[in-house]
Amino acid sequence: MTPDTAQRLGISPAADTPTRTTTVVGGRQVEVPVVRLATLAIGNARRDNVPVGVLESFPHAPLFDGILGGSFLEHFTITLDYPGSRLWLVPRGTPFTPPTVSKTTTSGSRAIPLTLANSYLLVSAVLNHTESVVLLLDTGASHTLLTSRVAQRLGVEVTANTLRRTMMVADGQRQEVPIVQLASLTVGHATVERLAVAISELFPYPSRVDGLLGMDFLGQFIVTLDRAAQQMWLASRQPVNP
């Protein structure tokens, strides 16, 4: 949550508040004080005694009071319908089929395996039908990113004339990144053709992560995540039955 939100709730960090080091995209490490919320409710989904960090996130977007993260979401199976602006949160272990996803789509054989590494969710993907990569799954990131070493492996050349876009990471830092187009990006059985992605270094030290999978890909599907089972389902969006 933002410092203003913590202040409104009367739980602003003190000098002896415990802190946690977190790394934002771009590699900058931030010391974040951690406080406790008595309750956090999203719709009828609720958790008590939730640890939250206090950080000035997206300072140029005053409508945000914070970021909903794993300390809350890990207790639920999450389904996101980006075009329909809908979110389902179901307690972990409860059988559930979202109304826009058919039962055949969410069968075990269609599940896409995820890997949990240092609280990050990683997923395997294939670029241009040939290049296998590991991407960090970020349901809130607007753009898919690839590291420069992956761009080199693909034979993608970034020049002075390459289109560039200014992007903002969670702590408010701005980055100007080159934009290139992939022939295709495939995750499990789901493929998006001609996807424009950014080239950026997620973390400066050697990492097994080749990039970040963002909403420009995920937003073309209904996304269901079971963090505990380390599985994801991607379904083509269907009209919601009345």
Taking only the tens place, the pLDDT of each residue in 122-136 is 999 999 999 999 999
Which has more confidence, 97 or 54?
54
Residue 12 is encoded by which pair of tokens? 């602003």
Per residue, the 3-state secondary structure of 47-89, as one string, reads EEEEEEECCCCCCCCCCCCCCCCHHHHCCEEEEEECCCCEEEE
The CATH number given to 76-235 is 2.40.70.10
Instruction: State the pLDDT at residue 74.
Output: 87
The residues spanned by each domain of the chain are 3-73, 76-235
Task: Return the pLDDT at 98.
Answer: 56
Cross-strand bridge partners of residue 204: none
Cα gap 41→101, rounded to integer Å: 25
Q: Tokens at residue 240, please? A: 């919601």
Q: What is the CA radius of gyration of the chain?
A: 19
pLDDT tens per residue, range 158-198: 777 777 777 766 555 677 788 889 999 999 999 999 999 99
Q: In the structure, what pLDDT confidence band is assigned to residue 99 with cuts at 50, 70 and 90?
A: low
Mean pLDDT for the stretch of residues 83-109:
67
pLDDT at 88 over 60: yes
Inter-residue contact 150 to 211 (CB < 8 Å): yes
CA atoms within 13 A on the CB side of 191: 11
Q: Are strands 29-42 and 19-23 parallel, antiparallel or unpaired?
A: antiparallel
Question: Tens of pLDDT along 116-168?
Answer: 887 788 999 999 999 999 999 988 888 899 998 899 899 888 777 777 777 76
Secondary structure letter of residue 111 according to DSSP:
P
